[in-house]
Structure 1
Amino acid sequence: MAIRLPPLNPGHLLALLISIVTTLAIAHLPHAHHDTYHSYDPPQDIQSLKASLSPTAQLLLPNDPAFKTHLNHRWSTNPLNTPSPSLILLATTESDISHAIRYANAHNVPFLATAGGHGTNAFLSDFNGGVLISLRNLTKFEPSPHGRTAIVGGGLLSQQVVERLWQEGKETTTGLCGCVSYSGPAMGGGHGFLQGRYGLVADQVVSVRVVLANGEVVVASEEENGDLFWALRGAGHNFGVVTEFTVRIHDVEEARRNWVWEQFIFEGERLEEVYTLANEMMEYQPVEMVSWSVWRMVEDVDPGKPSIVVIVFFNGPLEDSREYTQPIHNLGPAAYAFKVTEYPGLNAVLGVDLSGSECQPQGTALLRAADVDRYEIIALRNWFETFGKMLATEEGLAKSVCILEGYGVQGVQAVPSDSTAFPHRDKRLLLAPSVQYDIVGNSTLDREAERWSKAMEKAAFGSAQRRTYVNYASGDESLQAMYGYEPWRLQRLRALKRKYDPENRFRFFAPIVRDDRS
């Protein structure tokens, strides 16, 4: 007999799920990982930079009380994947960013721009010294008079975009986590709950204003700088700092104002049943439906072992959702719960709204991802067993979760594969082991976390070729895995790097050009 539990709060994992990366700009430094935080002398001649900035811009040095606060605006404060600047610029205008980049280039120091500050890519730790440019004050939001597009500032967070559009009776694809920026996911493609209907976050972008590696500001669209526009939508972290997006927006139909969240919990021994059914359901998954599952400890269901938490989101009334989820009910879950909310309320339901605890700086996280087309049952069982062994072996890693994301793909696959730098349109699933722990600076636990993280990712792929969603990349993936195995993709990206960033200044998140030239 099934037991009924209150809904789990999966917020600590969803802060990773929706598109996590917001690092936008990178500078050239040797690749080397660091075990501890360091202090750095500030760049020279700061007064010259200050004199060039707008009156409302702020410069923060390490001895400023606000310095650490802004530095720690990241989901993970792990020193293994956290930048270490010597100067923070709180920009308020596009020209502030341009002047900061020119200043950094003139003084041969790196620069890095961030908005929401999520991402666990190891290359972030190579940013040691230099200017960290915060975009958080670039919050322009301007719907067009015709109601088909809106200008979105590069510093706006996903929740802010969702809420402001909702007030206009509009919506567009964004990340779900409230504290993830709009811009970060878009630059890597950007998965979101509305992608089945409209396509990826990047697919909504009509044009951008972008600051290049030399400080020049250009517009990129299909008609203007089209080659750069292609690269920015999938590999954008390598090419510039986007200060404004013009994006497509869509009317919210009255019948689709509500979203239903249904949650089913199963014991781990039922994995084969659950994912055999999941493969079948994918064949008729409608655009309104998103189907995830999460592996985590649920002591009331299966003490001492991880459980399978299936989460189905449906854009419509509960009775329509049940039309598709009835087969899951028929499996007889150990626990079930549901909630109904309008789209902007999903953040709070899931605990990842701006004021939620999971949108505050956390401990250490290692995130990896496998893009695949189907649930390979044998591989899932191997991954699940590896996850269970990790939890049983390392008490310090007990907060870890495994995330299996099944977004709608109709809108994504309606866009030609060669039209953007995003390479994985044919993949329907995003599998992501997330190793999480509180201890920072424990090198033994760091090594164990990395070992288990790699083992789970390897198991998750099974027989599939390694393909990784770049916004979830950990830093040790091949360029082909992130940017595509078709030879023309990397050839084009490298040619565009030579054209738009010949000094490789943008290179602190999933860089196309590495020291080993891979």
Structure 2
Amino acid sequence: MTNKSPVPPKAPSTDTIIRQIVNHQGDERFFEYSGVEEHTALIIYNALQKCNEGRPYRCGWNSLLKVFSVVAMVTEIHEFPGSWMTSTLVDMGIAGFLTRQEATRDLLFLHSPKSSTFTGQYQASHKEPDYTIKPLHAILPTVVFETGWSESAARLREDMRLWLVGGRPAVQLVFLIKFKRSSNGRVGCFIEQFELDSNGDIRLIQAETVFPAPANAAQQTMAITKRQIWGAHLPAGQNPDASFDMSVDIFRDSARSYTTLYYLKTMKNCSAVNPIAQYNTEITMTGNVDIRATLAPKLSSDANIFLAGDTEFPNATARWSQYKSPGFTAVVEVATEGDVVETVISLTFVHEKVLTQSNGIQIKSKRLDSVNISDEGDIATCGGGIIGKTLVDAVESREANCMIVAGRCEITSLLGPGLGGGHGFLQGKDGLISDQFVSARIVLADGSIKGISADSGDPDLGWVIQGAGHNFGLVTSISVKIYDIEEGDVWSHRSYTFALDKAEPLYELVNKLWPDGTTPSHLTNFSFRMLKCPVVEPSYSQQFDDIGPTSIQSGSGPFNELSKMTGLDESAPASKKIGLSYIRFPVNVRNYNIKAQREAFDIFTSVTKENPEFAHFFFMSEG
């Protein structure tokens, strides 16, 4: 701990600082200014938040050193800790180190939260770390991760001192992750772990090399204890010294994948038969990659590559919602599982349903749309890019009087919603889309292929794709259950429009009918749709009729017409990709707080009237 931090340049005027940072273009850069007082730091910080134009900044002000620092054009490298912890949390849950309640509710896992409640010589400092772990009711985090690409190792250690000394006794543990690019393009990386000892002095607990990978790479771990995770909020009866070994190799895999997003790629020791088997862990910056020349010869004849400027590129990157659209530079439209493997191994990659803010490659899987029905007619195996309607129609045409669990909207893919659970018309009767999974094939971040089934020997991966599947790889095929349509199955629907003054009686009735939020399996509370009924039963509909809706729409028909009956078919306006931004903030409740609903509606009405740009916003209540 004898390294001295470099002395940053004396701060120019406040306006000059802001202009220097805001006008910076290109790669990530670290700005640092000394002699900055607190009020000046706050002015700069607020200005950057107002004019960042979608460009992320990480800001900090050290009150002891009077140093204001900013990481401009933050890269995905700073997301490594979050990816590492996401994988580690799964392992902690499997091992029983953390319960589901602890991992999902009692502990908060936060990306770049701002902290400003430091004490002592660091009082009035504020800092935005890359990632933190914080008990629910704590003010400061207990575990902090700081990652450096453009910052020096010495500056990272000043950040570590700020957290451990200025954040005591709350902050228990600090991870420093430093990447360094040498003049020949090689990238090295190490992780350091720090805490305060019993005398209040900073102690280096452990240091591990990530790149180049050492001989014992697969065995590298860094321990974390319950005392370090919980601090003063340790649940009663738990052993504070119980520890969990975090795999450094999992971090290495995350780093290799994410650095690929930043135009880094592995260079040597790739065999022709299995390129991943000999992956070298040294990484080389490639700069501009000729994607067509590099990848096209390896793809199947039906695959396509679209670059920005190609006439097909706008259509290939069109999205249902344009809000925070990724800045893709190329689209690889794969046609086979082998295309997916080659793309993952060879180039920068990002899956169609994973967002990156700049310089990402989109793997578009719509051509993975095959459908095969088992001889028994109870299982459909389809490509990973299959659209819900395509699968429903294929099953119906090949297996008369059969149906499949898919999403409500015809244009969505099966796995888009399915890998996250997936709501649908049949959820009350047959479960979510993910409940239908029988087996799958998935390409992992290293390009390897995993087969997943009940007897595949990898139950953990099979479990996580039923709700968190977008995070673990690219699913190239999936097998799902098929259900018989019973004789006489008719679906009916009844949709209401109410004026705002009917909010209280409407939500009071919903609470009365379903006090715990659970509806009958044959009824969906979204409009009202019922199975095996030519009309919605009066025992439900009459009570809503009595409230006095301004309009009512109703009808009935077979299962495959439900999307059309409810305005969610492929030709409906709600299904079109027309350049609009849809922003949704879901809140899950078992029943409605009538007073809160009214207050929310009143605020919403006031804001939308005063701001015409919000005229098309709406509340959606689904059950």
The question of a shared fold, defined as TM-score above 0.5 by the shorter chain, is answered with yes
Question: Are positions 1:233 and 2:466 aligned together?
Answer: yes
Amino acid at match of 1:139: D
Contact in 1 for aligned 2:493/2:536 (Cα 8 Å):
no
Matched, 1:384 2:617: no
Instruction: Name the CA shift for 1:355/1:235 in 2 (closer, same or farther; >3 Å).
Output: same
Distance across 2 between alignment mates of 1:67 and 1:151: 30
Question: Which of 43, 56, 59 lines up with 2:305 in the alignment?
Answer: 59
Matching residue of 2:47: none
Distance in 1 separating the partners of 2:553 and 2:361: 47
Contact 2:341 2:443 in 1 (8 A): yes
C-alpha displacement at 1:170, in angstroms?
1.6
Counterparts of 2:498 and 2:483, CA distance in 1:
37
1:65 Cα deviation from its structure 2 partner = 0.5
Determine which structure has more spread, i.e. the larger CA radius of gyration.
Answer: 2
Taking the aligned partners of 1:222 and 1:370, their CA distance within structure 2 comes to: 33
Is 2:339 the partner of 1:92?
no
Cα offset for 1:28? 4.9
Aligned to 2:423: 191
C-alpha deviation, 1:355, in angstroms: 3.2
Contact 2:328 2:358 in 1 (8 A): yes
Q: Which amino acid aligns with 1:366?
A: I
- Residue 253 of structure 2 is aligned to residue 253 of structure 1: no
Shift of 1:380: 1.4
Question: Does the CA contact (< 8 Å) of 2:492 and 2:535 recur in 1?
Answer: no
**Aligned counterpart, 1:162:** 392
Find the counterpart in structure 1 of residue 372 from structure 2. Answer: 142
Deviation at 1:185, TM superposition (A): 0.7
SS of match in other structure, 1:175: coil
Q: 2:314 matched to 1:68?
A: yes
The answer to whether the 8 Å contact 2:395/2:403 transfers is: yes
Question: Mean alpha-carbon deviation: is it higher for 353-362 or for 92-101?
Answer: 353-362
2:408 and 2:423 in contact (8 A); partners too: no
Aligned with 2:513: secondary structure?
helix
Secondary structure of residue in 1 paired with 2:327: coil
The separation in 2 between residues aligned to 1:134 and 1:166, in whole angstroms, is 26
Structure 1 residue 341: Cα displacement = 2.5
Q: For the residues of structure 2 that align with 1:260 and 1:380, how far apart are their CA atoms?
A: 29
1:356 aligned onto 2:572: yes
CA distance in 2 between counterparts of 1:395 and 1:328 reads: 32
Partner of 1:344: 560
Higher relative contact order (CA 8 A, sep 6+): 1
Distance 1:170 1:390 in 2: 47
1:42 and 1:353 mapped to 2: Cα distance? 42
- For 1:212 and 1:247, the matched residues in 2 are separated by 21
Percent sequence identity is 28
Identify the range of structure 1 (373-382 vs 342-351) with the bigger mean alpha-carbon deviation: 342-351
Cα distance, 1:348 vs structure 2: 2.4
Partner of 2:498: 266
- Asked if 2 retains the 8 angstrom alpha-carbon contact of 1:260 and 1:321, the reply is no
The offset of 1:319, in angstroms, is 4.2
Gaps of 5+ in 2: 1-74, 80-110, 113-262, 264-286
One-letter amino acid of the structure 1 residue matched with residue 600 of structure 2: W
Deviations 1:305-342 (A, max 9, x none): xxxxxx11112223453333222123232322212232
SS, match of residue 366 in structure 1: coil
Of 207, 215, 230, the residue aligned with 2:447 is: 215
2:525 maps to which residue?
291
Give the TM-score normalised by structure 1: 0.62
Query: What is the match of residue 82 of structure 1?
Result: 325
- 1:281 equivalent among 508, 513, 536: 513
Is the 8 Å Cα contact of residues 444 and 474 (structure 2) preserved in structure 1?
yes
- State the aligned residue count: 339
| Structure 1 residue 323 corresponds to structure 2 residue 556 | no
Give 1:218 shift. 0.9
Residue among 288, 305, 313 paired with 2:529: 313
Amino acid of the structure 2 residue aligned with 1:238: N
Shift of 1:349: 2.7
Counterpart-to-counterpart distance in 2, 1:53 and 1:285: 49
CA contact (8 A) 1:352 1:358 kept: yes
Q: Secondary structure at the match of 2:439?
A: strand
Shift of 1:353: 2.1
Correspondence for 1:9: none
Residue deviations 1:100-132 (CA, integer Å, cap 9, x gap) = 00012xxxx3x1222xx7xxxxx82x3411321
Structure 1 counterpart of 2:574, one-letter code: E
- Structure 1 position 112 matched with structure 2 position 350: yes
TM-score, structure 2 normalization? 0.52
Deviation at 1:91, TM superposition (A): 0.5
Q: Distance in 2 between matches of 1:45 and 1:157?
A: 28
Contact 1:100 1:131 in 2 (8 A): no
Q: Which amino acid aligns with 1:50?
A: A
